[in-house]
Amino acid sequence: MAKHQDSFYFDTFLACAEDACKAAHLLESTMREYHPESIREKLDEMHAIEHGADEKKHALLNALVKAFITPIERDDIYDLSRNIDDMTDKIEDVLQRLYCNNIQTIRPDALKMTATLIRCTEEVKTLLGKLPDFKRDRTLHEHIITINTMEEEGDRLFLACMRELHETCSDPIEVIAWREVYHYLESCLDACEHVADSVESVIMNNS
């Protein structure tokens, strides 16, 4: 029974990361083949993914409250589940911002950030898939470093995007709208890094 419960936590971490990957792919495909008239439908599709991730997180936290023994420290379970959920929330925020700001066309450099986001969420999923064996699997640190490197790449892309925006766009309303979108995209990559940091804490606190 205890081993089954241990597996439940790790399986839920991974399932929530898979939801974040689905959200990232939906965001990227929506922006790559952008049709502003159908963005409302995409928001509903995205919210269904986010809602499913929320339900998984709540089930995990309910189990945590009732658990007598946990496979890792309770605080680590709570922090990791919250940070994984934040990934999906932040991705949904980007799509909401495209809708609220009435974005009509997608700037090409934004797709570079979504491509990095997909790679980053997939790397997080791989990392969490290996988490049950964190005491023996030495490759976890390599995945953490890779995620941190991608986040730094995202920072560089953000600066380049902002520079390009202010150099080429003369419409102040469009500048403001896209500044917000870029900030939200950067927050998605920050959220991925926070998951990697949480996994690093799990390794340190439970080994």
The domain segmentation of the chain, as residue ranges, is 2-206
* pLDDT at 22 > cutoff 80: yes
Q: What is the mean pLDDT of the chain?
A: 96
**What does the pLDDT read at residue 207?**
81
d(CA 72, CA 13): 13
pLDDT by residue (tens digit) across 33-42?
999 999 999 9
* pLDDT at 129 > cutoff 90: yes
Mean pLDDT (whole number) for 86-111 = 98
Residues 6+ apart with CB under 8 A from 83: 191, 194, 195, 197, 198
* pLDDT at 62 > cutoff 90: yes
Orientation of helix 2-32 relative to helix 74-100, angle to 10°: 20
**What does the pLDDT read at residue 4?**
58
Instruction: Please tell me the pTM assigned to this model.
Output: 0.95
* pLDDT at 5 > cutoff 90: no
* pLDDT at 130 > cutoff 60: yes
Four-way CATH pick for 2-206: 1.10.3720.10, 1.20.58.220, 3.40.50.300, 1.20.1090.10: 1.20.58.220
Nearest to 193 by CA among 156, 157, 143, 132: 143
Mean pLDDT (whole number) for 139-146 = 97
Contact 16/85 with Cβ under 8 angstroms?
yes
Mean pLDDT (whole number) for 149-168 = 98
d(CA 52, CA 109): 30
Backbone angles phi, psi at 120, to 5 degrees: -70, -45
Mean pLDDT (whole number) for 71-98 = 97
**What does the pLDDT read at residue 1?**
37
Pairwise pLDDT comparison (32 vs 2), residue with the higher score: 32
Residue 151, H or E segment: helix 140-168
**What does the pLDDT read at residue 2?**
46
* pLDDT at 30 > cutoff 60: yes
